[in-house]
């Protein structure tokens, strides 16, 4: 499931197995340090009552969904509300990866598909770096314009902000991440703000 930090709105993958049968677990946001409670979506409806969902954009609470709604429908609705249900390329935004260090340093690669795989031998961006796995990481651009980075079980891992990824992490404009010896930076630009060629 996806959890959203109520303080900084960062989104993180939270495996259902971490609940270990509990109705809720406390979660500390790795970005801002905020501690909040994550409710187990598969817990029986007769257990603790559903809490209202806070919507940061409007600053309001939504009423809990009816108890007859299945966990699958709730999950799909939550992903759609978080903008994670489908991938897509917003037409007015250009996404690029700038290579800061490594074999391709000082180059820029425009991302023209919703999913970009980075690897040493397979993928859309091939980096001749012995510390990068054959298929190392994936960058996903969603329909709501958010960009997500996911490690593909690489040997040496993918890190951002000095921390190794344990699940998908949202990338912001000018945020750096490292694969092997290569450091890349995500660049997000609106088409209007770009100077003509």
What is this structure's pTM?
Answer: 0.55
| Residue 20: per-residue pLDDT | 79
| Segments in the chain forming alpha helices (H) | 71-81
| Residue 27: per-residue pLDDT | 77
Nearest CA-CA partner of 127 in 147, 97, 150, 153:
97
Residues of the chain with pLDDT under 50: 46-51, 54, 57-69, 72-73, 76, 85-87, 197
| Residue 61: per-residue pLDDT | 45
Residue indicated by tokens 């450091």: 183
Task: Confirm if 86 and 143 have CB atoms less than 8 A apart.
Answer: yes
3-state helix, strand, coil in the chain (%, to 5): 10, 40, 50
């Amino acid at each position: 499931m996806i959890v959203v930090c109520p303080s900084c709105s960062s989104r993180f993958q939270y495996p259902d197995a971490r609940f270990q049968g509990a109705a809720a677990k406390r979660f500390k946001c790795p970005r801002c340090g905020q501690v909040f409670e994550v409710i187990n979506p598969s817990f029986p409806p007769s257990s603790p009552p559903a809490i209202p969902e806070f919507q940061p954009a409007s600053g309001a609470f939504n009423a809990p969904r009816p108890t007859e709604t299945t966990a699958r429908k709730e999950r799909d609705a939550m992903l759609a509300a978080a903008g994670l249900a489908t991938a897509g390329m917003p037409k007015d935004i250009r996404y690029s990866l700038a290579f800061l260090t490594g074999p391709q340093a000082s180059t820029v690669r425009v991302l023209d598909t919703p999913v970009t795989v980075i690897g040493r031998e397979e993928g859309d961006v091939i980096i001749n770096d012995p510390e990068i796995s054959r298929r190392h990481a994936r960058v996903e651009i969603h329909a709501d314009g958010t960009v997500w980075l996911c490690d593909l079980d690489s040997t040496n891992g993918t890190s951002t902000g000095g921390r190794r990824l344990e699940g998908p992490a949202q990338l912001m404009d000018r945020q750096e991440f490292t694969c092997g010896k290569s450091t890349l930076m995500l660049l997000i630009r609106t088409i209007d703000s770009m100077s003509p060629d």
